[in-house]
Every structure is written in C-alpha cells, then in structure tokens.
Homo-oligomer: A and B are copies of this chain.
C-alpha cells in the first residue's frame, strides 16, 4: 500500500516527471491531451502529491500556526474556530500552539515551527513589542487582539466598547468604578484600562484599577475582595472568566449583584449568558477575528503590501442582569 509518487505516474503515463508535476501545478504549461492523460493515470494510481516534498522546494507549506496565550480560555475557541474554517477553506492547515501564558514557550514554539509553517497568528501575545517586531522581520505574522505599530493586526473593538460600558454604568447612577486588570503583559489590559479611565474622566466617574489578576475564574475571589475594598459600586473585570469568579465570590460573601455591586466582563463567552445573574459583557464576533487574521495572512503571501493592515472587528455591549442601579432593591424572583 505504499503510496505512489510522481515517478510512478510518470512511468505509467510514459512521460517525464516534470510533465506530471506541471500537469498538476502549472496546467497551462503542458498540452491538453497530455495533461488529461497524466491526470487520468494519476487518478488511477491514486496519486497524492506529497506536501512535504512540495514544501521543501516551493517553500510553501500551506500551513499556518495559531499561537494562543492560554488555550484554557474558552474565548479562544471562537478565535480558533474562525481561523480553522478560513484556513481550511483555502486548503490550508491550522496548527495549534498553546503558549501557556509564557513568553518563553511562545518564542520557543515559534522558533521550532518557522520552517514548517507559512505564517503565525499570535493571539493575545504576551511578547514584548521589540521581540514581536524582530519576529515579524523574519516571519509572516498577524497579531490578534493586540495592536503593534508596523504589524498586521486584527482586534475586536474595545475602546468604544469600554466607553459604552462606562456610559452604561454612569447612566445607571454609578459614580465609582473599578477595573480588575488582566495580566501585566497583556496589551488588552493596558488598552482597556486607558479607555475606561478616559471615559470615566469624561463622564465624571471615579475610576480605579486593581490587580493584575490572572484571567481565570479562580482569580475572581481575590479580585472580588479587592473590588469591595475600593468602595466602588461597579466592577469591570478583565474578562468573563474573571467576572464569573467575581460573581461567585460576591454571592458567597452575601453581596447582591447588581444592587450592591454591578459586574461586567469582556468576551461574552458561552457561560456569560448562563451564570447567575447573567453577565453584562462586551461581546463580538470572535470567530470573525480569527477568520480575518487568516485572511490577512494568506493575502499577504500573494502580494506583500506596503502598509500592514490593521483591522477592527465591531463589538457590542450585551446588557444582562449583572448591571443595575446601585442600591436598587434586589429583583424578587417571580415578581
């Protein structure tokens, strides 16, 4: 059952290997009759071109790598899903790499894969800017949910989203909000905090930042406690996982959400709509982000642009039950 090669086909068809090769990858270069014949023989032999051999000389592997900072976070699934679909649609293969929140692992893996993929999707990269730039000098790179001057990137809109979020809280009567920050090396965390602080200043709210916290449910306990010490009536968690952890801790401590404290998150992960109370959060088409990132990578292989594209995918604030008027009486279930 050894699979057949271009040589087998060439021999069986009575032509040279170059002709077989061209019949597949450069059809106009061979006569119509010959091409038909070769293709027919190839089909009969069940010939399947070997991607490795092809890649070795053509330097195109038709593979892209997606590096995520933490595969545990359900939010990335959407990203991955979108990327996988777009890649598959163009006959590309997606390899998945989990950086486990470690810049070192991230770098190591990228290094390891350079020769075997055509480009990298770096989702929520924890890499310092200079390292990213250096990386991009040697490889095709699209960063996701991070903006780096000079690099192609796709981010889910969040500046305007943060503004809306703070506006929403202000309109409910909150006067003091706390941002429960994500990891120190997270560009998103910095960017969100800037937007929140800006919006708060505009609207005359007090804004504080606590943290950093790991963007996990487990960290939510500490984050909730920190939030309470600030006296703020609204907590903006770095992401939904953290927010859900916060909700849990608040429930344990007997703090009512949203009457005592409002809580909002980011990402609108599947569970955000299911937890109690349902989480107000900034959602968006994450799959589109992944899709767009692959798209950019693929087109950048055809023609290299002068200006690397910076895409923004729209987001929207999804109001649910975890935000409300501060001090308002708790919902009576059934009322």
Residues of A within 8 A of B (CB): 1, 3, 48, 50-53, 55-56, 61, 63, 71-72, 74, 77, 80-81, 84-85, 88, 91, 93-98, 109, 111-116, 137-138, 244, 270-271, 274-276, 333
Contacts and interface: CB of A to CB of B under 8 A. Distances in A.
Contact of A115 (B52, B63, B109, B244): B52
Chain copies in complex: 2
Contacts of A275: 274-275
21 contacts: A48-B111, A51-B116, A52-B56, A52-B61, A52-B115, A56-B56, A63-B116, A71-B80, A77-B77, A84-B96, A84-B98, A88-B98, A93-B113, A94-B96, A94-B97, A95-B96, A96-B96, A244-B274, A270-B271, A271-B271, A275-B275
A96 B115 CA distance: 18
A93 B116 contact: yes
A74 B98 CA distance: 17
Contact of A53 (B48, B56, B111, B138): B56
Contacts of A115: 3, 48, 50-52
Contacts of A55: 52
Nearest to A81: B71
A114 B4 CA distance: 13
A17 to B, nearest CB: 16
Contacts of A113: 93
Contacts of A56: 50, 52-53, 56
B74 A88 contact: no
A242 to B, nearest CB: 14
